[in-house]
Structure 1
Amino acid sequence: EHSPSKLVGILAYWVLMVIVLSNTVARLDKGAASSISIWISSALPILIATCIIVVIGIVVVTFLSNFFITIARNAAVHNPVPIGKAIKYIGFIVVATMAMEQLGLGQTIVSTIFILLFAAAALGLALAFGIGCKDMARKFMEDFIRNLQEKERVRRGTDLEG
C-alpha cells in the first residue's frame, strides 16, 4: 500500500514523463506533436474521471466493509471479518468494473461478465446455504436474536424477560 504522498509523487512523475515525451516529439516532428497533444487533451478528462471513480470507490468500499464488521461485532456475530473481507473484495471488483467502463474498455463484455459472475455466485451461495445449512442457519438466527434480546435487556437494566 502506498501513502497519499507517494501516490502524488508517482502521479507527478508520470505527468512529467508525458510532458518530456511530448516536448521531445515536438522537436522531432510538428505533426506528431500536434496529434499527441490532441490525444492527450481528449484522454485526460477520461483518465481524471477514472481516477476519481477509483479513489472514491475504494474509500466507500473500505468504509462499508469496516462498517459491516463493526455492526456485526456489536450484534455478537461470530467472526465477522471474513464476511467483511468478502464485501471489500466484491466492492473492489465493482469499482474496477466501473473504472473499465469509464475508460471504454469492452463495456458490454465487462458488464455482462460481471453480472453473470455475480448472479452465479449469489445463486450458488443461496442454494448452498439454504439446502446444506438449514439447521446451522436456524441456530445462527436463534443465537443472533437471543444476543439482541440480551443486549436490550442489559440496556434497560432489568432482569425480567419479555
Structure 2
Amino acid sequence: MRALALILLLAGCSTQGSGGLFSVYRDTDVPIASKAVFAPERYLGVWYEVSRYPVPFQSGCVGVTAEYGLRDDGLLSVLNICRDTAGQETARIEGTAEIVGPGRLKVRFPSVPFVAADYWVLWTDEDYRTAVVGAPNGRSGWILNRTPDIRADRLQAARDVLQFNGYDLSRLEEF
C-alpha cells in the first residue's frame, strides 16, 4: 500500500512527456471534452476496468474495480481495488472525488498528500453501463463497464471516444 501511495505521489510530481514517470497517451493539442450532461448519482456504484492505458500504480493489476459512493459532505467516496491473475486482492486505495464541473472530478487519496488528479468522464452510454475516463494531460485513460464483460458495440463506441479526444488506441490495454 505504501509503495502504491509513493508511486502516486511521484506521478503527481512528474513532468509531461518522455522525461516523466508517466507516458502521455494522447495528443494534448487535440481538444478534450468531458461529458456535458453528467449525472453523478447515476455514476455511483461499482465499475469494472475493461481497458486502460498503462500507469505504474496499476502494474500487475487485473480485475480492477472502482467503486463510487456519495458522502454526507457532498464529495464522492472512491475505492479502487487491484487483483492478481488469480483474482486475489493485492492492493486497495480509498479516497474522495470532488465534482468541479460537468463530468470533471478532482480525485484525492489521503495516502498521497498534496496531489489531486484530474479525472474526466468523457462519455457514458445512455444507461451508464459503459464509461470512458481520461485526463487532459493524457497520462491516463480507462474504459469502464458495469460488468466485467462488455458488449462489442459499446467497446467500439468507447474506443471511438478515446480516439476523438486524441488518444493513441495502439497503446490501449484490453482485458
Q: Which has the higher contact order (CA 8 A, sep 6+)?
A: 2
Normalized per residue, the structure richer in strand is 2
Normalized per residue, the structure richer in helix is 1
> Normalised by the size of structure 1, how large is the TM-score?
0.24
> Normalised by the size of structure 2, how large is the TM-score?
0.22
**Structure with greater Cα Rg:** 1
